[in-house]
Chain A
């Protein structure tokens, strides 16, 4: 049994403790905003926050987050109005949208730590998140846009 604080609510997972957090979130908790893209820590689609830090949920076992605070895209802001989410909407960033929850979670954690990033810092922070549709230009601009509002 693993207990985590998922989006502010305590939740027990009666699963193999080696199960990646990604599948616990998606298949067990039924929160599908966190995406599977590679299962190997290479694409960032599964990015969530653990204690406020961006982690790849596909590379994090349930046991590693025992007793910790886990936030998914659904829990980032009660109204969905985190400055990063607002910036994403202001710039009409997505194409297919599939990578975007991961991009947003990555950007939100990054800006939490680095509220006024340089351009180099933005590019480096976001380079682990693949967007096959190629929205990078708008993603980077949205991060800058959000950084003026955090």
Chain B
């Protein structure tokens, strides 16, 4: 019996109640750090620049594209971002509805197909949904409310300023009122007002925004089994396919024999798909597809295929020697990506030095829903139903693979049973499209879990070496971070072993420490598998290394972790790019640096909030300790305070406090759920997630050797959201919770046991 169960549950209850009942509690937990709240202009909000405009197909802010109102008053809002669990399909329409004064109970959400020229960028990735669309959603909602007011005023012969709009009704001073449905036609015929001419709500007038009291859009369907995911669309005459893919990327079948497969009742045909070589981009890997009447027959058929594989150029990829090679590279000078001050001089003059090397295996996303997609190819074109993060990219890829015009391809977006970056890459959709054309019928391609584990676009494997120079008094005078990791770039362009500057800018070159001498370098590493992005991307290894190193320095110097962090972060300031030795156009998650600066005060604040929340500094029993880490990513600031407890030789994390400053919190309840999820996923990364290769192929296959945190060992998370007014721009939420979790756990484990782990995953045994 694990005796941490009681506090775990108690804590969970307290937290959920905070979210559900006393909403102020969620925000109030950080009250000491609150800015003076809600002194806001009464009318137009101040717009600000984001990176949205520079995304492909940018931003569309036309209410006519996103809003329709029928005669009964049902307001239909288009969700153009994919829903993979972050809540964007709820939160963006919720912002529109609030500014519109629509009654949420009378709002219907429809999902946009992949059509960026019409809807603007749809690439649901990079924690951008709210960051890029909160202004757009307010503008659209405000415009429609203004149009409704003007239409009513016209009917009544009043000045629009005399009418009010409240909960699906427009009211005249006389008490007369007209419903949204009655006004729909006239309102939609009004010209769309300019931003300056819209009287936006003040923040205290928000009904849904910032409240966290709205249920997610698909809640009823999810709880009754009626929600539609990638494999859930049923088309007449649809076939089911599973595919035997080359175990090694770039490999192919030398020969195959389908005789036995074709004997399986229900198996109808077997097809060889074209093979991909690196850089694959998002092209399918190829292989032998078994098409059948149902999924069971198809998998049975696949089991009976006899295939002789040729490994191809990457058959020599094995994780152990590869890791050793990366470590050797990290010991040599690399290409300099940031050079502030003179690290070499600091090292030469150091009284003491410290070196830490932190490594990580690959990670596979394993979304709960393995890849699955449906395609129907006919003379008219190609129609797709798929759980994809970037439906317009999917459409382009499928069109290209089949030699179709993009206008002949439709991509309908289902719900995603998790994405985490995997479903940005629609190789599985193109497979369905190719097979539908082959067999002349609609085809559903189903990936098994083994397929998913063995053929992902993996999070990179990495070596991060940090060398620190210290003076006599124990002050850090120099910091050199060398990163060696195969790059995402290798999936898109011929590989020269170099990383993209933006990978380094995810938590390495943007290091916000107040130190005179900082150098960042990267060494070459050639990729031998498809490198993709996993929730929070390169921030994971960078935060892991930096956060672990801070913990080690604290120990070396006899300081407590919090003191060490705060000393390194230094005084509140915005990172000065010039002084840091970084270029003016330094990558900042695509956002303008002047609008989304790197603010050390906010970084230190969330650390304090999390540490205070968990009671850092308290005396804990033997085998139990708290670890701290903080990291800025996706222009948000997140700290994790984790309490580790060793129970019968097993690492448990009974409690975690997650503190986030994500600017204005549009939907605190979904922010809380994202942080609860990030805590669990971060803990899975810390303890479990290791994909390794032998002779080019992935060793792991399913949950038995690639497990995740489960309900018998999840952290009870208390979420702290730093309250900010709308003028402090909304930032990212989906990803930034993950990076600080693994170093916080490692620091806690060290404090609890005296053992420092420097490799991810750390394993579950203490």
Interface residues of A (CB under 8 A from B): 15-16, 19-20, 23, 26-28, 30-40, 42-43, 45, 72-74, 76, 80, 85, 88-92, 94-101, 104, 119-120, 123-124, 126-141, 144
Contacts and interface: CB of A to CB of B under 8 A. Distances in A.
Contact of A23 (B216, B296, B418): B296
Given A96-B417, A133-B368, A43 B703 contact: yes
Contacts of A141: 12-13, 16
Pick the most buried of A33, A38, A132: most chain B CB atoms within 10 A of its CB: A132
Contacts of B708: 130, 132
B679 interface: yes
B226 A38 contact: no
B710 A135 contact: no
B464 interface: no
B5 A123 contact: yes
Contact of B418 (A42, A76, A127, A133): A133
Given A26-B295, A28-B294, A120-B1, A34 B709 contact: no
11 contacts: A32-B228, A36-B370, A39-B299, A43-B449, A76-B224, A96-B83, A96-B415, A119-B5, A133-B680, A134-B679, A135-B676
Contacts of B712: 123-124, 127
Pick the most buried of A90, A91, A141: most chain B CB atoms within 10 A of its CB: A141
A73 to B, nearest CB: 3
Contacts of B618: none
Contacts of B692: none
Task: Classify the secondary structure of A's interface with B.
Answer: loop
B676 A132 contact: no
A134 B223 contact: no
Interface stretch (B229-237, B340-348, B635-643): B229-237
B714 A136 contact: yes
A137 B714 contact: yes
A134 B295 contact: no
Contacts of A120: 1-2, 5
A27 B298 CA distance: 12
Contact of B680 (A74, A91, A98, A136): A136
Contacts of B676: 134-135, 137-138
B224 A80 contact: yes
Contacts of B367: 96, 98, 132
B86 interface: yes
Nearest to B677: A134
A23 B295 contact: yes
Given A89-B223, A137-B15, A37 B714 contact: no
A132 B367 CA distance: 6
Given A32-B228, A33-B224, A39-B449, A98 B418 contact: yes
B222 interface: yes
A137 B709 contact: no
Contact of B703 (A72, A130, A131, A139): A130
B20 to A, nearest CB: 7
A126 B709 CA distance: 12
B227 interface: yes
A103 B85 CA distance: 16
Nearest to A139: B711
Given A127-B710, A137-B714, A137-B716, A98 B417 contact: yes
Contact of B216 (A26, A94, A128): A94
B159 to A, nearest CB: 42
B678 interface: yes
Given A32-B234, A38-B449, A138-B16, A92 B673 contact: yes
Contacts of B225: 31-34, 72-74, 101
Contacts of A100: 222-223
B310 interface: no
Contacts of B220: 80, 89
B368 to A, nearest CB: 4
A98 B5 CA distance: 27
A42 B582 CA distance: 48
B427 interface: no
Contacts of A73: 224-225
A96 B711 contact: no
Pick the most buried of A33, A126, A133: most chain B CB atoms within 10 A of its CB: A133
B463 interface: no
B669 interface: yes
B295 A140 contact: no
A62 to B, nearest CB: 10
A132 B368 contact: yes
B353 interface: no
Contacts of A95: 85-87, 418, 673-674, 677
Interface of B: 1-2, 5-6, 8-9, 12-13, 15-16, 20, 83-87, 215-216, 218-220, 222-229, 231-232, 234, 240, 265-266, 293-297, 299, 366-370, 415-420, 446, 448-449, 669, 673-674, 676-681, 702-704, 708-712, 714, 716-717
The 7 closest A-B pairs by CB, nearest first: A33-B225, A134-B680, A98-B417, A96-B85, A73-B225, A95-B85, A97-B222
A147 B293 CA distance: 42
Contacts of A33: 224-226
A94 B222 contact: yes
A137 to B, nearest CB: 5
A120 B9 CA distance: 9
Given A88-B219, A95-B86, A95-B87, 8 more contacts: A16-B266, A27-B240, A40-B702, A42-B704, A98-B369, A101-B223, A131-B680, A134-B679
A58 to B, nearest CB: 10
Given A33-B226, A92-B216, A94-B219, A123 B711 contact: yes
B415 A89 contact: no
A131 B677 CA distance: 9
Contacts of B234: 30, 32
Contacts of A104: 223
A74 B5 contact: no
Contact of B85 (A92, A97, A127, A129): A97
A26 B415 CA distance: 17
Nearest to B679: A134
Contacts of B716: 137
A15 B733 CA distance: 47
Nearest to B1: A120
A39 B714 contact: no
Nearest to A45: B368
A107 B232 CA distance: 23
Contacts of A91: 16, 20
B642 to A, nearest CB: 14
Contacts of A34: 225
A64 to B, nearest CB: 14
Contact of A16 (B85, B86, B224, B265): B265
Contacts of A72: 225
A41 to B, nearest CB: 9
B9 A89 contact: no
Contacts of A74: 224-226
A88 B449 contact: no
Contacts of A40: 449, 702-704
A30 B84 CA distance: 23
Nearest to B218: A97
B6 A38 contact: no
B534 to A, nearest CB: 12
A139 B710 CA distance: 11
A42 B453 CA distance: 14
Given A20-B296, A127-B711, A137-B676, A39 B448 contact: yes
A38 B367 CA distance: 11
B676 to A, nearest CB: 5
A137 B679 CA distance: 11
Contacts of B12: 137, 140-141
Contacts of A137: 12, 15-16, 676, 714, 716-717
A97 B5 contact: no
Contacts of B219: 88-89, 92, 94
Contacts of A92: 20, 215-216, 219, 669, 673
